[in-house]
Amino acid sequence: MTSPAQPPVGRLASISLDCPDPSVLADFYGALLGLPRAYVSPDGGVVSLSEGGVALTMMRATDHVPPTWPAPGQQQQLHLDVLVTDLGPAVEQAVALGARQAEHQPAPNAWRVLLDPAGHPFCLTTVTGD
Q: What is the pLDDT of residues 7-30, one digit of tens each?
A: 765 576 788 888 899 999 999 999
What are the tens digits of pLDDT across the range 86-116? 899 999 999 999 999 999 898 888 889 899 8
Name the band, by pLDDT with cuts 50, 70 and 90, for residue 33.
Answer: very high
CATH code of 12-62, in short, is: 3.30.720.120
Q: Where are the alpha helices (DSSP H) in the chain?
A: 22-33, 87-97
Q: What is the identity of the amino acid at 95?
A: V
Residue 79 reports pLDDT greater than 80: no
The dihedral over CA atoms of 57, 116, 18, 47, expressed in degrees to the nearest 10, equals: -30
Name the band, by pLDDT with cuts 50, 70 and 90, for residue 77.
Answer: low
Average pLDDT, rounded, for the chain: 85
CATH topology of domain 65-130: 2,3-Dihydroxybiphenyl 1,2-Dioxygenase; domain 1 (3.10.180)
Q: Which residue has the higher pLDDT, 6 or 62?
A: 62
Boundaries of every domain in the chain: 12-62, 65-130
Q: Which residue has the higher pLDDT, 3 or 29?
A: 29
Q: What is the pTM of this model?
A: 0.72
| Euclidean distance between the first and the last CA atom of the chain, given in angstroms as a whole number | 22
